[in-house]
Amino acid sequence: MQVEVVQLAADVDPVVNRRDVDARLSTVEPGTDLVVLPEATQSDFGPTDRDLREAAEPLDGPFVDLLLQQARRIRGTVIAGMFEARDDTLPYNTLVVAGPDHTLAAYRKIHLYDSFGYRESDRLSAGHVVEPVTARVAGRIVGLMTCYDLRFPELARGLIDAESDLLVVPAAWVAGEHKLHHWRTLLTARAIENVVPVVAAAQGGRRYTGHSMVIDPLGRVLAEAGKGDESIRAVLDPEVTAEARRQNPSLDNRRMPGFVPQVGGVA
């Protein structure tokens, strides 16, 4: 699978972002199987008092239409983050999976970033916890996570149990003390513990950490960006995953799949 990760710093103006995304995607070679852009590519979060309903769009709006157009040109699949309009209620933080023929999936972020002094839930609605969201891309199953979801290993494991062949993590990972270390460590941990490739697209610029990454099932970094606008590329070979799982059959060795701890003694 040919993968390209587009790192950028989104503007608060969706029109500006569509122009930027169109230009960046226009440089992607046709035949690239999967292109991943960051969380909040359609519009950045902006100031903490900004009402994100003003920027939100429906899934049949101009941002998704642009992704579909570029997916058709590339003859591949494009994944990017947006704020999804919901009538008069708070929008969803949504990942859209745009295929060459139609929208393949939409994942609405489950774990909102109410941490490190920030409250995403004041501005956005959490997705419903139903089942992990996946999409089939180039014959492989892609599991979807967004940013803060990375800190919840049960979601990644649920995606693996849903037969995901790789995990995709678009993010706007806010910069700060220890944050880049957390980003790299958690991405690597999700790859190693699930013996699966991880493709992570981060926003760059002054506000965010950048450092988009592609990591293989053994935790090796195949490609990593810096902090600025750039694209990174990698090839994901399913045989590498198969060999990694032969070497490290930890998924087969699990003794507590779906484990629910009992409180107060023997059930």
pLDDT value at residue 31: 97
Confidence of residue 236 (pLDDT cuts 50, 70, 90): very high
CA distance 135 to 103: 10
What is the share, in percent, of the chain residues with pLDDT greater than 70?
Answer: 96
Average pLDDT over residues 154-169: 97
**Does residue 38 carry a pLDDT above 90?**
yes
Q: Which of 84, 109, 120, 227 is catalytic?
A: 109
Q: Note whether 68 and 97 are within 8 A (CB).
A: no
Q: Which two tokens stand for residue 203?
A: 């926003």
Q: At what angle do helices 179-194 and 153-161 cross, to 10 degrees?
A: 30
**Does residue 183 carry a pLDDT above 50?**
yes
pLDDT value at residue 256: 82
Is domain 2-247 given the CATH code 3.30.310.80 in the classification?
no
Average pLDDT over residues 7-12: 98
Q: Which of 39, 57, 84, 120 is catalytic?
A: 39
pLDDT tens per residue, range 99-124? 999 999 999 999 999 999 899 999 99
| Residue 169: strand pairing partners | 200
Average pLDDT over residues 61-84: 98
pLDDT value at residue 94: 98
pLDDT value at residue 258: 66
**Does residue 263 carry a pLDDT above 60?**
no
Please confirm, yes or no, whether 109 is among the known catalytic residues.
Answer: yes
pLDDT value at residue 185: 98
Q: What angle do CA 131, 135, 137 make, to 5 degrees?
A: 160
Mean of pLDDT over the chain: 95
**Does residue 49 carry a pLDDT above 80?**
yes
Please confirm, yes or no, whether 230 is among the known catalytic residues.
Answer: no
CA distance 260 to 220: 32
Q: Note whether 265 and 237 are within 8 A (CB).
A: no
pLDDT value at residue 166: 98
Residue ranges of domains in the chain: 2-247
Confidence of residue 265 (pLDDT cuts 50, 70, 90): very low
pLDDT value at residue 259: 54
Q: Which of 4, 84, 147, 227 is catalytic?
A: 147
**Does residue 229 carry a pLDDT above 60?**
yes
Residue in 23, 29, 140, 133 with CA at minimum distance from that of residue 74: 29
Largest interatomic CA distance in the chain: 60
